[in-house]
Amino acid sequence: MTRRRSGDRIGETPEGREPIFDSVGSSPLGDTSETGTIPGSGTYFCILCGGQLSLRETDSLPTCPSCGGGQFRRDSIFEAHQDHAPATSEMPVPKVPEPPDWLSRAREQLSEGRHLVYRREDGTVVSFAIERGWTRIGRSEAADLQLDDPSVSRRHALIVAEPGKELRVLDDRSLNGVYVNGHAIEWCALRDRDELAIGRYKLYPLSA
């Protein structure tokens, strides 16, 4: 799925901010790749916010799912992921998002049980039935729920479902993290209508 910031042009940073990485990375500043290009397989980081994307050989670079930036560099295997984050930046505390209106209509279409639902860019609502045990979410073809986007890690998140207990979600050592209601988590309960953000996708647990 792709989400673009209105008014941002490719190659420019949003809101007039300057890139924060003038000398960090495995290649010189002139070796940046822009949104829309096909730079080859590997991990790339946004030079504005440090967000990471994992690309296959034929993937084109999307806009950054974190900040909407359009310039990236290939990541170095010798640098920790946190080295790409600006240590002095102060980010606002995220607000708890309001569940979208379409969730109520989606619930009416579900079979009995627990589900994850999300909405594609064309408005189509997709549902995935959550079975007892572990559900693997990621970009890999081996995932139970495959989300094929560069912002999603091959192994991104795990959901555990047990009878009579709340769903729980675990960050499976993903590049871009797992967010529940706007908060980065490692492991937490997942309740009905919570917003689960995995890369560019926003998924919602629903019971029917």
Give the global pTM.
0.62
pLDDT tens over the chain, length 208 residues: 433 333 433 344 444 555 444 433 333 434 788 999 998 888 888 888 888 888 888 888 888 887 888 888 887 654 444 444 443 334 444 556 788 999 999 999 999 999 999 999 899 999 999 999 999 999 999 999 999 999 999 999 999 999 999 999 999 999 889 999 999 999 999 999 999 999 999 999 999 9
Contacts of 202 (CB under 8 A, 6+ apart): 118, 119, 195, 196
Q: Is the dihedral of CA 25, 21, 31, 8 positive or negative?
A: positive
